[in-house]
């Protein structure tokens, strides 16, 4: 009789930034299939999701991946339900309107690796600063690169878990990195970002580090961290029309504030109009423009206006479920 360890992962009820939570369920003779993952419950009064007098919340499995580290282990992404089976108010996954998986998302997750002892990004000396930005982006060598061991191990774990992991690179600031994930279907894209974040955070426990997703943890002339959202649907992938692209981009203009409201806490500190960002107070779009709110990739234009768009406003600490849900709603409102 074999036993498997199922790590149930969920998002808590903290606002405006949810935290990852998880606990292990041991199952006998588990098949490894999502449909055989049982519903489970947890104490919502300890996660800002229920009152103590009626504290049970339910965990509904929505995606499963092999755990790349634990023997006979699985990672089970779940969404939170109320005791009556309805989506909990904190369940942002349930707000996504993409039943046919027509929307494809590629998220670029930036983050800082922090030293637990110094509380500073790797590469930052105590009481001072490393050299100015310029040589860190995609650098190699111990003079300008820190944290590669963790980053490489994280990439291996994501690939071994079966995530559609697409790449890694060191970012513009010292101690700052990025990974990319892509999925056909908005819910799947969100699932994979959260599982990748889980693996990254769990991995830091072995290094004496922690991950900082604050969009501007180092004030001054240092790049902040975002989570650029590359997105498309059938229209964007096939229309072949500059006018259609512009109509979709214009649909974002009147609801810019609604997007910013769900794009991540403290994003005003990052979206200043500097460091490859547009101002939080403006909305713009342009071909190959990394200073715009929405960038139209040059490859989209070169392929005859068939491709995708990149929303550069989401912060590194944003919830990919909320971001995808808001983008889908706006694209559909363009009626093209």
Q: Mark whether 117 and 73 lie in a shared domain.
A: no
Average confidence score pLDDT of the chain: 97
- Cα–Cα separations (whole angstroms), residue 132 to 70, 120, 128, 304: 41, 16, 12, 40
325 versus 276: which is more confidently predicted? Answer: 325
Instruction: Residue 42: give its domain's CATH number.
Output: 3.10.20.70
Give 154-190 pLDDT, tens digit per residue. Answer: 999 999 999 999 999 999 999 999 999 999 999 999 9
For residue 299, what are the contacts with CB-CB under 8 A and spacing of at least 6? 307
Predicted confidence at residue 189, as pLDDT, reads 98
276 versus 252: which is more confidently predicted? Answer: 252
Please say which residue of 174, 194, 225 terminates a domain: 225
Q: Mark whether 285 and 325 lie in a shared domain.
A: yes
Instruction: Please give the tally of structural domains in the chain.
Output: 3
SS3 206: coil
Nearest to residue 90, comparing CAs of 12, 151, 38, 164?
Answer: 12
Q: Is residue 100 part of a domain?
A: no
Q: Mark whether 295 and 250 lie in a shared domain.
A: yes
CA distance 274 to 271: 7
Q: Mark whether 112 and 212 lie in a shared domain.
A: yes
Please give the average per-residue pLDDT across 186-201, as a whole number.
98
Q: Mark whether 170 and 248 lie in a shared domain.
A: no
Predicted confidence at residue 276, as pLDDT, reads 86
Nearest to residue 325, comparing CAs of 179, 190, 136?
Answer: 190
Please give the average per-residue pLDDT across 107-129, as a whole number.
96
Q: Mark whether 207 and 298 lie in a shared domain.
A: no
Predicted confidence at residue 334, as pLDDT, reads 97
Give 254-265 pLDDT, tens digit per residue. Answer: 999 999 999 999
Instruction: Residue 162: give its domain's CATH number.
Output: 3.30.590.10
For residue 39, what are the contacts with CB-CB under 8 A and spacing of at least 6? 58, 59, 60, 61
Q: Is residue 291 part of a domain?
A: yes
Please give the average per-residue pLDDT across 283-303, as a whole number.
96
Structure confidence at residue 128 as a pLDDT band (50, 70, 90): confident
Half-sphere exposure of 24 (CA within 13 A, CB side): 10
Does residue 53 surpass a pLDDT of 90?
no
Q: Is residue 98 part of a domain?
A: no
Lowest pLDDT segment from 72-76, 110-114, 270-274: 270-274
Range of the domain at 311: 228-336
User: What's the distance, Cα to Cα, between the start and end of the chain in Å?
Assistant: 56
Q: Is residue 61 part of a domain?
A: yes
Q: Which parts of the chain fold into alpha helices (H)?
A: 148-160, 186-204, 234-238, 242-252, 256-261, 298-302, 320-333
Q: Mark whether 179 and 114 lie in a shared domain.
A: yes
Q: Count other Cβ atoms within 10 Å, centred on residue 235.
A: 18
Q: Mark whether 287 and 323 lie in a shared domain.
A: yes
Predicted confidence at residue 296, as pLDDT, reads 98
CA distance 123 to 173: 10
Predicted confidence at residue 52, as pLDDT, reads 81
């Amino acid at each position: 009789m074999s036993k498997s360890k199922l790590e149930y992962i969920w998002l808590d009820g903290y606002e405006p930034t949810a935290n990852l939570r998880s606990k292990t369920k041991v199952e006998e003779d588990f098949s490894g299939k999502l449909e055989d993952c049982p519903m489970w419950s947890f104490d919502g009064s300890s996660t800002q999701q229920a009152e103590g007098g009626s504290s049970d919340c339910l965990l509904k499995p929505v995606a499963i991946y092999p755990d790349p580290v634990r023997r006979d282990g699985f990672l089970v992404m779940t969404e939170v339900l109320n005791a009556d089976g309805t989506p909990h108010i904190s369940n942002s996954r349930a707000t996504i309107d993409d039943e046919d998986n027509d929307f494809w998302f590629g998220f670029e997750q930036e983050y800082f690796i922090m030293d637990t002892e110094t509380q500073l990004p790797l590469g930052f000396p105590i009481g001072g600063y490393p050299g100015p930005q310029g040589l860190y982006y995609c650098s190699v060598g111990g003079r300008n690169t820190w944290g590669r061991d963790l980053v490489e191990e994280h990439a291996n774990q994501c690939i071994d878990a079966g995530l559609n992991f697409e790449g890694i690179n060191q970012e513009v600031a010292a101690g700052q990195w990025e990974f990319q994930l892509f999925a056909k279907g908005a819910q799947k894209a969100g699932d994979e970002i959260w599982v990748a974040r889980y693996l990254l955070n769990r991995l830091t426990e072995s290094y004496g580090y922690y991950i900082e997703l604050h969009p501007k943890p180092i004030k001054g002339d240092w790049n902040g961290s975002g989570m650029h959202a590359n997105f498309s649907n059938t229209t964007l992938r096939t229309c072949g029309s500059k006018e259609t692209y512009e109509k979709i981009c214009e649909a974002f203009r009147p609801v810019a504030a609604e997007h910013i409201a769900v794009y991540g806490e403290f994003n005003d500190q990052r979206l200043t109009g500097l460091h490859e960002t547009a101002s939080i107070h403006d909305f713009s779009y342009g071909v190959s423009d990394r200073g715009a709110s929405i960038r139209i990739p040059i490859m989209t234009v070169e392929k005859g206006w068939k491709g995708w768009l990149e929303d550069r406003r989401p912060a590194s600490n944003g919830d990919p479920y909320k971001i995808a849900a808001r983008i889908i709603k706006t694209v559909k409102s363009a009626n093209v």
